[in-house]
Chain A
Amino acid sequence: MRIINVLCLLAAALLATACKEGETAVDRATGNGILIMGNTSEPKGLDPHIVSGVLESNIISALFEGLVVAHPSKDGVALPGMAEKWYPTDPQKPDEWIFELRKDATWSDGKPLTAADFLFAFRRILTPALASDYSFMLYYIRDAEPYHKSQRSYLNCRNDPSFPVDWNTLKKVDFGPNEEGETEFNRKGLDHLAAQQIEELKSDPGLFQWPEDVSRDVREILIEKNLEFANSGKNLWDLIDFGATAPDPHTLKVKLNSPIAFLPEITKHYTWFPVPRHKIIDHGKIGDRFTAWTKPENIESNGAFILTSWQFNDHIQVERNPLYWDKGNVGINGIRYLPISNLYTEDRMYFDGQMHITYTLAPELIEYARERYPDQVRNELYLGTYFIRANVTREPFTDPRVRIAFSKAIDQQSLIKNVLKGGQKPAGGLVPPFGDYRPATTIGFDPEGARKLLAEAGYPGGKGLPEIEFLTTDKETSKANAEALQAMWKDNLGVSIRIRQMEWTSYITTMFEKDYGLAAGGWIGDYMDPLTFLDMWMKDGGNNRTGWHNEQFEVLLKKAGNTGDPQARYRVLEEAEALFLSETPILPLYWYTRNYLIHPDVKGWDPLILDNHPYKFLRLERNPDPSPPATSR
């Protein structure tokens, strides 16, 4: 009995203790100038060439700095970073850019940072063996793509005057690996065969299944050229005419495949950042993944902060880089990133005074937080679109009228208001609104029109439709979302669909294999340009996955690529988007917003559509307001 009494007493004592007061972790951190941020999960790494996630980007952008820096409050404005000045050699045709690097730029160990570091970084991310997820961000540079894809046949034959045909006629032929290839050599790809295998192929050409439009003499030359190169021991790098060069240590010249007026925007992405060549080579070869160079004791960086502590699954901390060129303007002393995967835990920790900024705010808590802490809740447009892919190779979505009917039957407003509750914006088209680009308004709720279109397509009232499956992920929110859509299609079209929830990797795999009718999806823009949403729908776009393509659409994108004037270019892209939406292989639902909590102590954190906040402009100041912000709940 005595033990029970003790337990009861203990419990009573715990409950009777007064509410929280006094200094919280956030108060102390503000005092020390350390920003504490929620960052969802343990990063896959800190190597800018290996990672591909937003959470890694949040840390990398504190450690490293690219050619230009984002503006703290204006989207699409570039401030000097490692480059002091940048300009296209011909403003009418911006397909060659000059970046003048600052002469005082150094790595955090004092070693000077030069154009060679950029060239090394570009070459590294394009090195096939490194297998970077994000190499395609550099495909704008001349010859980056064929090198990264190891297009040995192309690179060996394209400049050969004796080659019997124009290489462009062979462009459709893929000499790279083909997983579904019938022979072992096809699965490996002609471009990847070792010298001995090419010898075998030479004596028995049947080992490789040649496409019909490759004539006999072309085959022989290709085999010969491939063999010669494989035996030479040379690297494909020696064969390419790479677009990026360094006329002198402080000048970087970048020659592109086609004019890009917004190149500085692209260079804000971490795939374009320099990496410390000397440190990487110390710990491995250029194409080695996961070497020790990113460990806190080894890493050197060039950004406003350096890595000081990395406790696996616990926290990552960065602190002031004393050798940073603009150190006088860095407003905070450091950042602590917490890998909190549970969004409710994150919100509770925020309300408990443990962090300044949450990664996200649970949809159920948005109302609650808005009522109690209106000054701490942020709801901001984010450069992303949520949509549903339609598999245009499968009945009934082969007919654009059916796709449009399904799109028009969705009441976006109701979905946002009753299910998502995150203040998302109904999508009028594919590209979210920003800058001078005029967002489309074609997509919208029109149940009458939807029914009419479906009837026109031969399915009045949904009669005669095959079974339709809606593929989505296994998240709770995905389910609620899917059920709402299911009800809308039932009510507005009379169509019953089946929901198929799958765990993430299975979902992605199923989508890749086009084993779906409709599939939930979305896209976050990589840079501030409509192209980041449009070029994925090209025929060979790796992220297309709908089976849709349209020659006119690709002609328009090409035309935009050759249009120097930004406004005229936008008009061409708008035309391309309109064409895309008239056939709509996807059903746009809403434009993303980001909901999160931010402590009043954080100053200078303004809405940015890409959500890449340059940390050096932030300030941490105690709120003069005497009422203490959110310390108990």
Chain B
Amino acid sequence: MLRFIASRLLQGLFVLFALYTITFFLAKAMPGEPFTTEKNLSEESKAYQRALYGLDKPLLHQYFIYPKNIITKGSLAISTSKGRPVKDIISQSFKVSVVLGLSALGIAICIGVPIGVISAVRRNSWVDWGTMAVAMIGICVPAFTIGPLLQIFIAAKLSAIKVAGWGDPQDILLPAITLGLSTAAYLARLTRGGMLEILSQDYIRTAHAKGIPPSKVITRHALRGGILPSVAFIGPAFAALISGSFIVETIFQVPGMGQHFVNAVIARDEFLLLGVALFFGFLIVIMNLAADILTGILDPRVRIAGNAAK
């Protein structure tokens, strides 16, 4: 197991470096620079600012100095558009995004998994078709439609819920639903698929033949295997949810991380861009690893295969 984790971490390091390289050169390929403003800045001023951020150095030097500073100083440089350390920006907005992402994931699991189980058990009934149709809509309808609809039909009507803003605990509800809904829909479909496969297995028939109550067969025996595709999906989905969403954040005025991806590009803020890209990459690597470990624990086949390989 340790060897597995170590090798995956090493792979992750390569992934991060590749991600850094691609992002770095893409950022450099963008037209304009951070100091391109409407107010035509003098050449002198631009030269001073380039020197301040080290952007006057040769490209290769810039390419190596950034990772070097991360490793030696733990520094992600200063954002050219926000004038504060990228590390501070990420740590402040990440807290918000974790709260929102966890709530969204909770909502997604609470809605998605039961619906998937029910439609698998009632396969080809109206319940199945109905829930799967709703799930399909959930996947297809974008957040910028659901969000405003929730604002208009729920928040504007209920005094306890604000249309947007972040501060009170109940402010989490609507953005979390908006963010979690499409994940819930995916989970429903994945759970249904996984459950259908398991329900046709011999050991389930055996369990039924032994006279175990159907509800117990489903929750004890079938769900454990049927949920595996969802578990594999939850890892990266969780990383995506807690790294924020530009659309949900702007609709509900949530000070999360997602907006930095977009705004950094618009402002040609390459340090912020690199910072959030690497941080997101890091999350994905860790979450994928966690999902793999969890799958190993839940799925005896993976454990056996792992042992056989030894």
Contact = CB atoms under 8 A, between A and B. Distances in A.
Contact of A342 (B82, B156, B165, B250): B250
B255 A508 contact: no
B252 A345 contact: yes
Given A44-B81, A313-B93, A348-B151, A22 B41 contact: no
Residue of A17, A178, A510 contacting most chain B CB atoms (<10 Å): A17
B155 interface: yes
Interface in A366-417: none
B123 interface: no
Interface in B139-198: 148, 151-159, 162-167
A176 to B, nearest CB: 6
Given A44-B82, A505-B266, A131 B41 contact: yes
B231 to A, nearest CB: 20
B217 to A, nearest CB: 17
A351 interface: yes
B82 A352 contact: no
A354 B162 contact: yes
Considering the complex of A and B, which 10 residue pairs feature the smallest CB-CB distances, nearest first? A542-B40, A313-B255, A505-B32, A131-B45, A509-B32, A342-B250, A352-B163, A177-B43, A290-B83, A131-B48
A338 interface: yes
A354 B165 contact: yes
Given A17-B157, A44-B82, A133-B39, A312 B32 contact: no
Given A129-B48, A149-B42, A506-B32, 12 more contacts: A131-B46, A177-B47, A312-B255, A314-B166, A344-B251, A345-B163, A345-B253, A348-B151, A348-B152, A348-B164, A354-B162, A504-B266
A20 B159 contact: yes
Contacts, number: 165
Contact of A150 (B44, B93, B267): B44
B209 interface: no
Nearest to A20: B159
B31 interface: yes
A20 B158 contact: yes
B21 interface: no
Interface in B34-89: 35-49, 52, 78, 81-84, 88-89
B30 interface: yes
A571 to B, nearest CB: 30
Nearest to A188: B47
B118 A4 contact: yes
A508 B43 CA distance: 16
Contacts of B250: 341-342, 345
A543 B49 CA distance: 20
Interface string B201-245: 000000000000000000000000000000000000000000000
A150 B42 CA distance: 11
A338 B166 CA distance: 11
Given A45-B83, A313-B255, A314-B166, A352 B44 contact: no
Contacts of A176: 42-44
A44 to B, nearest CB: 6
15 contacts: A22-B159, A44-B83, A131-B35, A133-B37, A136-B39, A189-B44, A290-B78, A290-B83, A312-B89, A351-B163, A354-B162, A505-B32, A506-B32, A632-B156, A632-B157
Contact of A349 (B47, B92, B253, B259): B253
Instruction: Give the secondary structure class of A's interface.
Output: loop
Residue of A50, A312, A503 contacting most chain B CB atoms (<10 Å): A312
Nearest to A23: B159
A276 to B, nearest CB: 18
Nearest to A135: B45
B44 A177 contact: yes
B216 to A, nearest CB: 16
Contacts of B151: 345, 348
Interface in A266-286: none
A120 to B, nearest CB: 19
Contacts of B37: 52, 133, 508
Contacts of B148: 344, 348
A353 to B, nearest CB: 9
Interface of B: 30-32, 35-49, 52, 78, 81-84, 88-89, 92-93, 111, 114-115, 118, 127, 148, 151-159, 162-167, 250-253, 255, 259, 266-268
Interface in A531-546: 542-543, 545
A42 interface: yes
A289 B35 CA distance: 14
A354 B267 CA distance: 29
Contacts of A50: 83
Nearest to A1: B118
B253 A178 contact: no
Interface string A159-192: 0000000000000000011110000000011001
Given A131-B49, A342-B250, A505-B36, A351 B156 contact: yes
A100 B179 CA distance: 58
Nearest to A42: B82
Interface string A290-333: 10000000000000000000011110000000000000000000
A4 B41 CA distance: 61
B135 to A, nearest CB: 13
A12 interface: no
B267 A505 contact: yes
B246 to A, nearest CB: 10
Contacts of B266: 503-505
Residue of B35, B156, B166 contacting most chain A CB atoms (<10 Å): B156
Nearest to B154: A14
A192 B46 CA distance: 13
Contacts of B115: 3-4
Contact of B156 (A130, A133, A348): A348
Residue of B41, B42, B157 contacting most chain A CB atoms (<10 Å): B42
A545 B39 CA distance: 12
Interface in A434-487: none
Nearest to A11: B154
Contacts of A91: none
Contact of A348 (B38, B41, B84, B163): B163
Contacts of A545: 40
Contacts of B81: 44
Given A313-B93, A345-B250, A543 B44 contact: no
A235 B29 CA distance: 38
A128 B253 contact: no
A128 B39 CA distance: 16
Contacts of B45: 128, 131-133, 135
A128 B32 contact: no
Contacts of B84: 290, 312
Interface string A29-72: 00000000000001011000010100000000000000000000
A86 interface: no
Contacts of B32: 505-506, 508-509
A543 B42 CA distance: 11
